[in-house]
Structure 1
Amino acid sequence: MKVSFLAIGEEIISGFREEKNIRNSSPYLYSLGFSIYIQCVGDKKEDIKFALKQAESFSDIIICSGGLGSTEDDLTRFAVSEYFNVPLEENREALEDMKAKIKARSGKDDIPEILKIQCLLPAGSKPILNKSGSAPGFKIEKNGKVFYFLPGVPQEFSEMFQNFVLREIKEKFSHIKPLEEKVFKIFGLTETQIQKYLKDIGIPECVKISYLPSSPEVTIRITGEKNERFSQFCSKVKEELKNFIYSENEKDNISKVVGQILKEKGFSVSTAESLTGGELANLITDTPGSSNYFKGGEIVYSNEAKIRLGVKREIIEKFGAVSYECAEEMAKSVREKYGSDFGLSTTGVAGPDPLEGKPPGLFYIGFSSKNETAAFEFKFNIGRKYIKILCSHIALKILLDKIKDNGKNR
């Protein structure tokens, strides 16, 4: 079964307004097993009619948003009237609902002429009353197809979609098997690398995979019919990518996941930052409740600041500020200073110029616990802004890997 969404409005195709209605509602129908098609069109009647003709040619359900108000550019009802070759009529149910709203709001019985336009619906259509605004929507059934026309205001569209359209579709098409979904949040692999892993596993024909990159991580959504093949494939993916998957909840982020584990285990962390300039501490404290496990942090940008933290001067003189040895000392020193279970450090060359003979993009992340102190080298010449973000995320992934196995490295 196929559903077409049609977003109507010059403000959408011009990019002046973000389209939210389709984005927020299509996942409900996708998860029910419908194939989804999306169109955006301006406010011209001919364009709307052409889009309706296209959608009707290959879809079972057509859901339209926008163009139902009272201004000159609200032409959806007029385009629909011409498309189906039926007149517009004042709908009694829509008029009574409008009267009740106006009386409740102003105490008056008369409907302003400009609002009466909103009660003009194509003959034979069924009104969909609007509890959040004024303009009603309407439904038309024709040639075995179902058309829903709803206002474009997101709050109004959402209420009418949830309480009328979605409910009706679920009842009418209850025979369609809902799809199963599995989400993996992945850090440390690119889309291309993930795709290669999955191809090596062997992707069943009945499975669809969506790649959702959001630098510096990738979310993959696996969708398919609920059966043994789907479950087996998801299990294989989880096993193959276990070193890179940090969550199976789409709403999670690396800061939230690390914070949950630190809080559950009663652990704490502190940070010493050079390269990231506070970005790592900011990432940690983006999560509410981080004061339960984040002891504090220091930005030690200069060599003298590193020495005041506790890094030995001879370490910097011998190996440089951008080195394994300096990163280890920074992590250990900040852990000891703040009395935390773990210390994290960042030092490197953000660019664009080399530093101490070391190339831009080179950085080190230090980790320290009571039982272990180590540093890790990375090279990503991606510019100052993004290297700080990437380095901070990698630091939290290192911490996550160290503590999730029952806190062995505490």
Structure 2
Amino acid sequence: MNNRTAEIVSVGTELLLGELVDTNAAWIAGELRRLGYYVYYKTTVGDNRVRLAETIGRAFGRADLVVVSGGLGPTDDDLTREAIADVCGAVPHEHPELLRQLETMFASRGRPMPPGNRKQAWMIPGGRSLENPIGTAPGWWIERDGRTIVAMPGPPHEMKRMWNERVKPDLPKGSSILWDTTLHTIGIGEGNVAEMLAEFTTCANPSVATYARRHGVDVRVAAGAAGMEEARALARPVLAEVERRIGRFVYGRDEDTLAGAIGSMLASAGKTLSVIESVTGGLVADMLTDTPGASEWLKTAVVAYTRAAKEMNGVSAELLDVHGCVAEEIARAMAEAIRQRCGTDWSVATTGVAGPGEAEGKPVGLAFVAVTGPAGTRSMRLGWPGERRQVKERTANGALGLLLRILRGDSEP
């Protein structure tokens, strides 16, 4: 079986300086995987014509497909077109139809087209342009000796639309199509998952791999075959066994989120939720409201960041005098008070120390989360030192994880 290979080139000095994170390459790699391409190299190169031509030329010499993102703007340091022309031994020329489209686009916005944008109408002999309906930079599709270069703009929303509408439909599929799915877990560490799945993680096809994420541990099951259905069938028995072994920890798959799983359970049961946060500063509510339809079940979200705010929301001064603001008793009191005040079926609370220094003599990363519902209150202590954002994210995930386990009827953590 001859596997089709691809290489990804990300263009931009800002990527090398750490000013931007290259999300394009990861997204493109996933798309290529699903089309049956094997990606062996990803390269980032700055806005230098010689180095860019060297990079694209090297990729073009060893891959069936080279996908380039970035460097198609109108400025002097946007050099992807020039570099591809150098690789192909061609001279760019101004394409009349591309120029007309650019001038029309600027006219429709009531703006004159700057002279520098004329380079975005360039093309080389034998190439074709890729329409960009939401930007000024058309892409390039170049074929030489059975190999292809695809160049797309750097802004992710422009790149993704061009890929989906103009590139992917015309790409030949690889000889080996990959089917994969990712299971999301919570309440179990990566080492424990790996131990439970040890006999599968060394297999090549189907393959099983574990990944530690901010929201928990992910398990990816993948298989490659000549066709999608054949690959899916190959993976099916392994996936079934993986689910049998870790199913009690799984809350979703692929695009599912922890907040989405909670929302689905609340909505289907006709139940409501209120949230009160201290250390997480609204992050729990933010995660929940990222879920479409959250207004059906999320009724109130409060940030009670100070002692006074906690008292205003029903936590007694006497309890705060005894325990301070960062204590399991306070998290429980916060959850119980907000549920009673808002009349919801369920409530979630967080409190803790985000750092960078101690608070009330308590260490950075110490946090407490609590959930109150019809059967009472359950709480949990968390101890994950780190940067402020890490502490907030881990605590928010811990709170939602506790809520999900209680909604599912899991035993005490």
TM band (smaller chain): 0.7 to 0.9
Deviation at 1:276, TM superposition (A): 5.0
Is contact 1:69-1:118 (8 Å) kept? yes
349 and 200 in structure 1: CA distance in 2 versus 1, 3 angstrom threshold: farther
Residue 227 of structure 2: aligned partner: none
Deviation at 1:3, TM superposition (A): 0.8
Output the CA distance in 1 between the equivalents of 2:145 and 2:67: 16
Residue 145 of structure 1: aligned partner: 147
Deviation at 1:282, TM superposition (A): 5.3
- TM-score for the superposition, normalised by structure 2: 0.75
Letter in 2 for 1:309: G
Letter in 1 for 2:249: F
For the residue of structure 1 that corresponds to 2:344, the secondary structure is coil
Letter in 2 for 1:5: I
* 2:369 is equivalent to residue 365 of structure 1: yes
Structure 1 unpaired stretches of 5+? none
Is contact 1:184-1:220 (8 Å) kept? yes
Residue 14 of structure 1: aligned partner: 17
Output the CA distance in 1 between the equivalents of 2:298 and 2:166: 47
Output the CA distance in 1 between the equivalents of 2:155 and 2:338: 51
For residues 121-140 of structure 1, the aligned pairs below 5 Å read 121-123=123-125, 125-132=126-133, 136-140=138-142
Structure 1 residues 71-119: Cα deviation after superposition (integer angstroms, max 9, x where no partner): 433444443344333x42647xx32342355368659xxx998666555
Output the CA distance in 1 between the equivalents of 2:154 and 2:297: 44
Structure 1 residues 155-198: Cα deviation after superposition (integer angstroms, max 9, x where no partner): 554454333332221xx33x634321212223334545544443
| Match among 235, 243, 250 for residue 238 of structure 1 | 243
Deviation at 1:382, TM superposition (A): 3.8
Output the CA distance in 2 between the equivalents of 1:390 and 1:398: 12
For the residue of structure 2 that corresponds to 1:242, the secondary structure is helix
Is contact 2:128-2:142 (8 Å) kept? no
Output the CA distance in 2 between the equivalents of 1:236 and 1:30: 24
105 and 201 in structure 1: CA distance in 2 versus 1, 3 angstrom threshold: closer
Residue 63 of structure 1: aligned partner: 67
Stretch of structure 1 that moved more, 112-121 or 267-276: 112-121
Residue 163 of structure 2: aligned partner: 161
For residues 371-382 of structure 1, the aligned pairs below 5 Å read 371-382=375-386
51 and 228 in structure 1: CA distance in 2 versus 1, 3 angstrom threshold: same
Stretch of structure 1 that moved more, 284-293 or 34-43: 284-293
* 2:42 is equivalent to residue 38 of structure 1: yes
Deviation at 1:331, TM superposition (A): 3.9
Structure 2 unpaired stretches of 5+? 225-230
The alignment yields a C-alpha RMSD, in angstroms, of: 4.2
Output the CA distance in 1 between the equivalents of 2:313 and 2:48: 68
Letter in 2 for 1:47: R
Is contact 2:280-2:350 (8 Å) kept? yes
Deviation at 1:145, TM superposition (A): 2.0
Output the CA distance in 1 between the equivalents of 2:140 and 2:310: 67
244 and 126 in structure 1: CA distance in 2 versus 1, 3 angstrom threshold: same
Is contact 2:259-2:400 (8 Å) kept? yes
Deviation at 1:200, TM superposition (A): 5.0
Residue 100 of structure 2: aligned partner: 99
State the percentage of identical aligned residues.
25
| Match among 389, 395, 399 for residue 395 of structure 1 | 399
Letter in 1 for 2:37: F
Letter in 2 for 1:142: R
Stretch of structure 1 that moved more, 229-238 or 260-269: 229-238
* 2:408 is equivalent to residue 404 of structure 1: yes
For the residue of structure 1 that corresponds to 2:76, the secondary structure is coil
Mark the structure with the bigger radius of gyration: 1
Residue 83 of structure 1: aligned partner: 87
Deviation at 1:265, TM superposition (A): 0.6
Letter in 1 for 2:239: C
